[in-house]
Structures are given as structure tokens and as C-alpha cells.
Amino acid sequence: MLAVSYYEKIKEVMEKVVTTQSEAIDQASDRVAKSLLQGGILHVFGSGHSAMIGKEITSRAGGLVPINQVPDPTEGMAERLEGLAEILLEHYAKRCQLLPGEVMIIVSTSGRNPVPIEVAMEASKRGLYTIAITSLEYSRQSTSRHASGKRLFEVADLVLDNCVPPGDAIVEIGKTGQKAGASSTIAGALLVNMLVLAAVERILQEGVEPPILRSYNLEGDDDHNLKLFERYRARLAR
């Protein structure tokens, strides 16, 4: 069955993420925790389906409150357009600010398109620490579509490899020569949740209560959440 094959294949991707990315996650969580302990915000950008990774940890029960998703109003349709990233970040910064020392996560599995590449470049210019979530195997086999000739993993400060194969899909469809069953969303969600939990652990080690959002569907948690949102309200996108 194709569905069972997908389950087996995605387990392999997830196992590879866990076994190969622990050190990088540790480094990333250190940067994120230090920024949040100083009152910073974690920013996440993805275009098209990559935006789902930012959505996964933004305003999410069980997640950290000071996380913003940088919006792409084109929803990936203009991902190849050079110059767009600067406009998107300028608009976002007017509302939420982008401060030196904060962390920007940029998600792009192929890492070849101009918008995510330039988001990383522009964030670095503003003094932010940039973390790419990308597939190194996929990206190394791809030619950059950016004028610099660089791919996302070549411009970010740190890379978290989602271990996704070229093309993203992981299940062979009979003898058609095609594959189906995308893997980058599950792999990316695993990475960002591991990163958030590692950052929470570091914050706890400093003797500070992490700003974790509680589910609104549990009784008595509205007041807890309201206090957290009031703390960060001036900079939250939502």
C-alpha cells in the first residue's frame, strides 16, 4: 500500500533528522534562548508551502508566545522575484521590528529561489542571526535562481537540514517513474518543534519561566495567555 510505504519512508526521514541534526539544533536553541531571555522575538519566514513551518509554531498551544511569522502575501507566487524580500521585510519591520541579535528562521527546501535567499541576506544586514531550514542534498543538486549564484544554505549563519530528498516526494508510484507524498512539512515541523523545546530547556536552566502559550480549550488558561500577550503585544504580528 502506498500509504503504508509513505509511513515507512517518512519515519526514515525523521530518524535521519534526529540522528544528524542534534548538534545544529543545540546551537540554534542557544541563539534563540539568549535572544528571548533578552526580550527578543523569534521571526520565521517561508514562502508557499514552506510557510506552514512558521505557522506550526506561531500562536500555537504548547509553543512559545514571542514568535512571529513574517508574511508573504504572494503565497509563493513571486518566490523567484528578486527585490521582493527587501520590501516584505521593510513592511514587516515597521509593524513588528527586526532588532540586532534576534533570530530569523528561513524555510526553503530547495533553497534556490531569490526570496528566501534575500530574506536571509536582508536579515543579516539588520544584525539578525539567520537559521536556514533546507535540504542540503536537494539544494546542492540545484542551481541558484539568484543573481549571486548562492543558495540559502550558503548565506545563512546556521543550517538545519530537513534531510528531504530532491523533489520532496518520497513514495515511488508504480512504474511511472514518478513519486508522491511530500516530506518537507513533517520534517520541518519536527525540526522547529525540537528547536522550540531545546530553547525552552535552556530558558529553564536560567531559572526563568518560559513564555509558553496554553490551550484556550483548557479551563482557566485565558488569564495566563492574556498576560503573556500583553507582555509582547507591541511586537506580535497577530
Q: What is the DSSP string of the chain?
A: -HHHHHHHHHHHHHHHHHHHSHHHHHHHHHHHHHHHHTT--EEEEE-GGGHHHHHHHSS-TTSBSSEEEEP-TTTTTTTT-TTHHHHHHHHHHHHH---TT-EEEEE-SS--SHHHHHHHHHHHHTT-EEEEEE-HHHHHTS---STT---HHHHSSEEEE--PPTTSEEEE-TTSS-EEEE-HHHHHHHHHHHHHHHHHHHHHHTT----BPPPTTSTT-HHHHHHHHHHHGGG---
Instruction: Please tell me the predicted confidence (pLDDT) of residue 219.
Output: 85
Average pLDDT over residues 198-203: 98
Q: Where are the domains of the chain?
A: 2-235
- Residue 199 pLDDT grade (very low, low, confident, very high; cuts 50, 70, 90): very high
| CATH topology classification for 2-235 | Rossmann fold (3.40.50)
pTM over 0.85: yes
Instruction: Please tell me the predicted confidence (pLDDT) of residue 8.
Output: 98
